[in-house]
Chain A
Amino acid sequence: MSAKTTNQRAWLLVAPVVVLVAFNAIIPLMTVVNYSVQETFGDNLFFFEGMKWFEEVLSSERFHASLLRQLQFTFIILAIEVPLGVAIALAMPRKGFWASVCLVLMAMPLLIPWNVVGAMWNIFALPDIGLLGKTLNAMGFDYNFTRQPFSAWATLIAMDVWHWTSLVVLLAYAGLSSIPDAYYQAARIDGASAWAVFRYIQLPKLKHVLTIAVLLRFMDSFNIYTEPFVLTGGGPGNSTTLLSLDLVKIALGQFDLGPAAAMSLIYFLIILLFSWIFYTLMTRGEAK
């Protein structure tokens, strides 16, 4: 009988990753879990409160209102950015000098730091000195994003579309470039219309990259903080207070660690749930 030797040294190789993930994700997350079930006082006094903060957050109207705003925001930008991104990618030249020019132009907004994007749009849209705000008012529109909720929303969405449609464009463009010429040639020979080429060749071939684009845009837009913070600060009133802005107000403004921690976890679970739903819907019916 031969003795079974087990080599445990492989653990040493994964140890650095385990340590990294622990400090990077697990420990901070567990700290939040810890806060979410306790009442905190000064002098590091903690009292166990069970599910109290979760119940409070889930039944709070303030949370419902920011969640609804968040869902509206995400739905609107997805409904604009995905079709627009695909349309721009379809219109871009496939090769040559202009293809490179277009790609560089498209990559530009993605390279700008997020708070700079917020500051740029803030100044751009100011009704008295900003190019956009002043022009709109000169054209007879009553536009003031610091006072009117509708103007604030329109500016916020325009900013996000400007900032992030490029990501969808680049992904869709990469997907389109990977379609072999033979498909287009076959379609020409089969007498397919431009719409049929899009519907039966380009769209099916883009399905995978669009799944990724929708997931990324969903998660990023659901997490959005910096740009609306710089642009509107959540105002006027609470009209553009999205989930993350509200969360920061509770955690750092009011220093309610317990409710903020409970809200963070709920927030995280919502994103996870929606991502799973999107992914399942978009990949259903695929050959196993």
Chain B
Amino acid sequence: MKTTVLVPELLVAGAAVGLFVAHRRGVVAGRWLASGALVATLVALGLELWLGGQIGTLFGGGWQQDRFSVFAKAAMLLGLAALIATGDWDSESLHEVLPLGFLAAFGGMVVASATNLVALWAGVELAGISGVAVAGILATGSGLRLLRVSVLATALVTIGFAYLYAVTGASTLSGLRQTLVSEQLTLPLALISLLTLSGLAVRLGLTPFAAPTFERGIGLTPVGSGILHGLVAGTAALALAKLLGALYGTSPAWSLWLGGLATLAMVVGGLRATAVTAPRTLMAWLTVQQVGWVAAGLATHDRRGAAAALFLLVPLVLAATAGPPLSGGADSEPAGVAGLGRREPARAVGLGLVLLSLAGVPPLAGFFGEFTVAAELLRAGLGWVLACGLLGWLLGAAGVVRALWLMYLEPGPEEIRGQRGSRRPAVWAPGPLVPAVLVLAYGFFANPIHDLAVQGAAALGLR
């Protein structure tokens, strides 16, 4: 396999380093820099889709390119592109935040191509540290609290990986899988599997770990929150999918546990979505709900379920990264989006469609993914998970309807103050329309995308 397949990774890592260097050299951040970053991301995405069709390994088997990696990397790059396109770079600290976004995406790309526990760990940690750093730069208090949670997750994953290596003697994922399939499941092995997966669940933001992870993210700036909720959680989901493929032999230990966590996330996410009014908080809990659907797909521990989860992962990453920048500042009150449909039509359309997609409302990307997961849950005999998921779906949709109501039907602050006559002209920025178009178009291209997701799940070695 040619090393040109590494060009997308080089571009992403190079962009991160370039932005750091530009900051050190005192280059003034402007919209042109954000535009350049967007172009670099899109070029990386195009190259990934073009060159990523190769299948093979590099660095003596330490790096792998397969259908899973091309699918996963495309998802991360799409999320990153949506983040850059929707971010308000006049008010964001571009030099500090954007490089960390690139690093988080790079972490996800490392996970996507990882063939051993070390690379998997490195990718997850790189993304996780980027998230903590974003929080630390932008809000010290949130950063410190997130750091504690992150240390816990790191400890769980590190101990788990070390124990797995000690028990099986295999550091590669394929070796781990072969050993565990032939080995009898013991209580310590089951416990350590659960411990490792719990570490990843913290990063992913599955309930009950959503509160420390996602609620911290609400306090960040919009782009920071997008990095944490979309790119870091997306990386954790990819790592979970890869690890579950390797831990196939211990599936009796974790499938019920993961199903339970997924159920909890779907129901609690939906319940909280109906109870909250601030747009950023609503977005966070809808993300938790959709993370639950992804986890439910993985809990089926077979190829079709994992494919459905991967198919849903793309809309999740897309909406979770683009959503917070669209919903405004961390201190945004419900009234902040009131009348948004008239003030900023493009942003209102983008925010509305992203919220609807996160809630799984047809005919948007999230619905396609959740429907596919639902069909697989039924086939796998996890009807109880599906029943709870449908309940959460209804609740989440109700929460979104209220937000739409505010955006389109309630008067904005200016209108309340009686400034209807002197209303400013509507703002038509094209950036917010990028995620809107993507969540709308996803369903039209569902066939090839889902096909690629099936091939990706097959590459994980699942049956």
Chain B associates with chain A: no
Which positions in B face A, CB cutoff 8 Å?
Answer: none
